[in-house]
Amino acid sequence: MKELSEATVVAEIGCNHKGSFEIAREMISVAKVFCEVNVVKFQKRNPRELLTEEEYNAPHPEPHQSYGRTYGEHREFLEFTVDQHGELKRLCEQAGLIYSTSVWDLTSAREIVSLHPTMIKVPSACNLQFDLLSYLADEFPGDIHLSLGMTTRQEEEGIVRFFEGKRRLADVVLYACTSGYPVRFEDVSLLEIRRLRETYGERVRDIGYSGHHMGIALDPVAYSLGANFIERHFTLDRTWKGTDHAASLEPGGLRKVVRNLKAVREALRHKAKETLEVEARQRKKLKRATASAPRSAG
């Protein structure tokens, strides 16, 4: 077994900044300095383009989590401008982090592409918006990361064939994902990572895992199964208002995910030789053996 590639850990801030640029700035710093992640990811929406008039003016389905009178106002409140995203990108790069954003509509894609990030994410909800995928394939030269939550295998194959037709598969990272907030362990379905690796691993750039589960036990398993990108929602306080916080990790949890992934990379290998140097002293002290191995009966 060859040595594992180093895991790339993506801290998805998303909209967990509560619409506050100062909180977003702080989260970038904590993600880098305390958690030691590789990538920080936000979200970009144009609510008027993304939502129908009815959806925009409807009340939030969980009113106590809303930042506005309607769902549309809630979404507007949480949005940063493209100039603010440009500043977030600068702050990430200054900290030694990769900046990324999930784009939910064509206008948002155009705005984020104008910032020239190294990677852009297509969320599960948008992975069948082929006008959006086409724009990214044609106009964005960086890596296209795409989650496969809420997606049938037939749809999944259609997405892969689309990027293959665009000659962009070498830049595509597919993420195993179950779209729930949070997801029960029995619904996480980690073996989907192995299936994606076996089915598409030779065709796409890489395979990732976007986790919405509780706790930190499953991320090293996802990595061991072949997910080289590990994405977890990140918050400073899981009790804050907003629907994503319950499925997010606080700084201590995300720091442990990074630590555990590094430990797995070190440990998941064969012995370099039959008995290691670390065993020599113990072998001399503890090993007991007879003069020769016993003969088998018969």
- Residue-wise pLDDT tens digits, 48-95: 999 999 999 999 999 999 999 999 999 999 999 999 999 999 999 999
- Residue-wise pLDDT tens digits, 116-162: 999 999 999 999 999 999 999 999 999 999 999 999 999 999 999 99
| 73 vs 59: CA distance, rounded Å | 9
Using 50, 70 and 90 to split pLDDT, how confident is the model at 246? confident
- Residue-wise pLDDT tens digits, 13-24: 999 999 999 999
Nearest one of 211, 200, 204, 134 to 176, comparing CA atoms: 211
The domains of the chain, with CATH numbers, are 8-271 (3.20.20.70)
- CA–chain centroid gap for 14, Å, is 11
pLDDT > 90? residue 295: no
pTM over 0.75: yes
Using 50, 70 and 90 to split pLDDT, how confident is the model at 2? low
Rounded to the nearest integer, the mean pLDDT of the chain is 95
pLDDT score of 172: 98
Percent of the chain at pLDDT above 70?
A: 97
Please check whether residue 204 is in contact with residue 238, taking contact to mean a CB–CB distance below 8 angstroms. no
Nearest one of 133, 103, 131 to 117, comparing CA atoms: 103
Using 50, 70 and 90 to split pLDDT, how confident is the model at 296? low
pLDDT score of 193: 98
Using 50, 70 and 90 to split pLDDT, how confident is the model at 252? very high
- Residue-wise pLDDT tens digits, 185-214: 999 999 999 999 999 999 999 999 999 999
Query: Which backbone phi and psi does 190 adopt, to 5 degrees?
Result: -65, -25
**CA-to-CA dists, residue 149 to 126, 188, 274, angstroms:** 10, 11, 43
Strands 143-147 and 119-122: parallel
| Cα separation of the two ends of the chain | 38
3-state SS, one letter per residue, for 31-76: HHHCCCCCEEEEEECCHHHHCCHHHHHCCCCCHHHCCCCCHHHHHH
